[in-house]
Amino acid sequence: MESLTVVDISKKLLANLIEPGLQRRKDAAHVALKHILEDKNAHPITYNHTYIRTVQDMRSKKYENTLAELAEEHKQEMISEHGYDTNIDVKTFLESLPAMRPENNMETFSAEDALLCQMAYYKVNILFIFSRIFTNIHKDESKYFVNCVTKQVIERCLIKELATDIVSAIKFGDMDDKQVSNLAREANDIMQERERLTRKKEMLEEGQEAFRKELGGF
């Protein structure tokens, strides 16, 4: 602004046009950021259609792991013509399957299912869930949060249409006569000095005119 106008006008533009416009954008950015933080601190929710499939896959994986552990317990090593072979005792394995009955404790079942659903929501392993569950900071959520702040706060509120919104020909054209007058008016000290010098000039001219009359009009 100082390179385009005199110092006095640049100061007025900064105080009356630019700084208020930037402050409005800053206030709007704070409001947008507040809403984003409220959303972040709310209960996790998703509308992604893959969530249900992920939950089902994780439940199936849990069941498969249980079967694998049970099969491991019933492995038997047998000597064959090729050496040692590992087989599963099918009879004892089938007899142990009824032990895999559903969980009857409501609290245990609810806690395990809630944990599984949260794991599906964040798509991370259980160790990562336990390490981050109390801090409410997750990799996917962090990326989403950064994107929201970048697009909804910085780009929308601070950067979008910055030049045309703060200083533009339209802004000056929308000013009323009072605003234009205040912008173009000289500073008070300069106006006072101008008035003082004008009065002094008038006094000197009057004295000069009187002196001329005394000399016969010369």
* DSSP string computed for 136-188: T--HHHHHHHHHHIIIIIIIIIIITTHHHHHS-HHHHHT--HHHHHHHHSPPH
C-beta atoms surrounding 74 within 10 Å: 16
Q: Burial, 18: exposed, middle or buried (Cβ in 10 Å; 0-12, 13-18, 19+)?
A: middle
Determine, yes or no, domain membership for 1: no
Residue 191 domain-assigned (yes or no): no
Residue 190, C-beta contacts closer than 8 angstroms, at least 6 positions apart: 8
Instruction: State how far Cα 185 lies from the chain centre.
Output: 42
Has residue 115 been placed in a domain? Answer: yes
Could you read off the pLDDT of 22-39 as tens digits, one per residue? Answer: 999 999 999 999 998 888
* Assigned domain for 15 exists: yes
pLDDT of residue 190: 77
Q: What is the mean pLDDT of residues 65-86?
A: 65
pTM over 0.75: no
Instruction: Give the tens place of pLDDT for each residue, 132-168.
Output: 444 444 555 677 788 889 999 999 999 998 878 887 7
Residue 38 within a domain: yes
Residue 57 lies in a domain: yes
Residue 202 inside a domain? The answer is no
Whose tokens are 């339209």? That residue is: 170
Tokens at 23, concatenated: 């402050």
Number of domains in the chain: 1
CA dihedral 174, 178, 183, 186 (to 10 degrees): 160
Parent domain of 51: 7-184
Residue 192 lies in a domain: no
